[in-house]
Each structure stands twice: as structure tokens, then as C-alpha cells.
Amino acid sequence: MELIDGIKISNNKIAEIKKRIDEIKNSRGIVPSLMTILVGNNPASQIYIKLKMQACKRVGIKSFHINLDKNSSQKNIIALIKNLNNDSNIDGILLQLPLPKSNYTQKCINAICPSKDVDGLHPTNAGLLNLSKNWDEIIKKNILISCTPLGVIYLLKHSNIEIDGKIVVIIGRSNLVGKPLSMLLLANNATVIICHSKTKNLKEICKSAEILIVAIGKPKFINGDFIKDGATVIDVGINRVVSKLCGDVDFDAVKNMNIKITHVPGGVGPMTIAMLLENTLKAFNNRNM
């Protein structure tokens, strides 16, 4: 087994982002800014917000935070977002998910100005990604892309794992990970298979993967029976079992296999935060071109 070190790769990326922000600050006297919004007091979400704000401080991004009551109405959340859209001091807006009431999640996301949508979930940004022909076009257009999928691509590229022409199986079809990740992989010339809860012969399909990406939210669901010898395994899952975090892959069951793999924690998670910083800088640059 060869471990893909998400902490090391994210630290290198964060150092690069800090350098770019320092250059902007020294030459123009301004820095990017990010507003995070949390509705309610979900403990996991509070931890994620804290980590994001710490990361902003690390690179020199101004971070602001608003915590709304869990009973806040859709109308009130959208009103706040619209005010932030019009605030020239805010470059990026992040609405922490999940919301207490999921039935209006997409409407709230849709209210975020696409140019400030650092989570890359607005239909405009999703559409720009889907319409892009290749990776070079995505980079050239400075598209704001969902942070976790972008982090997965960055992990693969900076671990010298070839994507071009490879068979990639994604387990999970969410708007947050599976769907945008499939577009990013296609833009890098992979052959992509998306699996989900209704997929038949899942083990056999996964066994065909040269790169297997798991994002289903089921603790330790994937074992060695799903994985091809020599494959790369990216575990996107974050699950709390008793007092410990684990992924969707049973790490102990596959650690003696001939594979490259990310660990949970320390794999995709750090890259997600690094890509949030990258998107915030991108949003700043797009608005100040």
C-alpha cells in the first residue's frame, strides 16, 4: 500500500495560495474576503466553519461569519445572501450545508451570486463546468468548482497519478461530489462510470476501476473484494463511528493490498479546505480583473 498524503499536498497548495495573496497585498493593499453562513448549531458544521476560518487566517484571507438561528426562514436566509451579494467588501459566500430544513437548500444556493459562489454549487457554475470541453478550458475560464471534487483532482495530479485514458469508477451521484467530479474527470480524458444505490453487480464494476472514488457515506463499506490490484482508491467519506472518524473504505481491510489510497482523516478533507481558499482567491481575481 502507498498512502496518498492529503495533508502534505494541501499544505503545499496553501503555501502557494498564501504567496499569491501576499503579492496582491503588497502590490495593491487589498486581500480576498470570505463570508461563511451557518444556520443552526450543528456540531459538525461548527467544527468545519472553525477550520475554514483558521485556514483563511493562515493565508491572509479576511474571514467573516454569521450564525443564524436554526428556525430562520428561507426568506430571511435569502435576504441575508442578497445583501452580501451587494456588499463590495465580500468576495466569496459560503452557506454551510446541510441546512436544518433541506427542502429549501437549493433555493438558498441559487440566491448566491455566481461570482461569489465559492462552493461551486450555483446552477450557473455547474453549467459552466458541464459545458467545458477540457481541463485547459476550465482553468482558463477560472470556473468556481465544488471544493471536494476539485480537491480530488488536485490530489491525483499532485500524486503523479495518470487520469488520461483511465477507467474511473465513482460510487455516489450527489450534486456536491459525484456529478461535478465526473465532469472534471471527463475533462481530463478519463472513462467514467458512476455507481449508486441502484447499481447492480457493484463489486464487479468497482473491480474494473483503475481509479476508484468512494463517496457514499457508509462507514467501511468498501473492502478488498471491490478493489483491483494496483488501483488508486480515493475515499471521500467522513463518518464518525463511536469517537473516531473513518471513511467509506475499510482501511484496515485493504492496507496490505497493492494499491494507492487516501486515509480518513488526512486525505480528501484537507484538500477540500485548500480548494475553498483557492476558490475564494479565484472569486477575488474574477471580480477585480
Catalytic residue among 91, 117, 119, 248: 119
> Is there a catalytic annotation at residue 46?
no
Catalytic residue among 13, 52, 166, 260: 52
**Amino acid occupying residue 279:** N
DSSP the chain: -EEE-HHHHHHHHHHHHHHHHHHHHHHHS---EEEEEEES--HHHHHHHHHHHHHHHHHT-EEEEEEE-TT--HHHHHHHHHHHHT-TT--EEEE-SS-SSGGGHHHHHHHS-GGGBTT--SHHHHHHHHH--SHHHHHHHT----HHHHHHHHHHHTTT---TT-EEEEE---TTTHHHHHHHHHHTT-EEEEE-TT-SSHHHHHHT-SEEEE-S--TT-B-GGG--TT-EEEE---EEETTEEE-SB-HHHHTTSS-EEE-TTTSHHHHHHHHHHHHHHHHHHHHT-
> Is there a catalytic annotation at residue 218?
no
> Is there a catalytic annotation at residue 119?
yes
How many CB atoms lie under 10 A from the CB of residue 197? 10
Catalytic residue among 13, 91, 96, 220: 96
Catalytically active residues, by annotation: 52, 96, 119
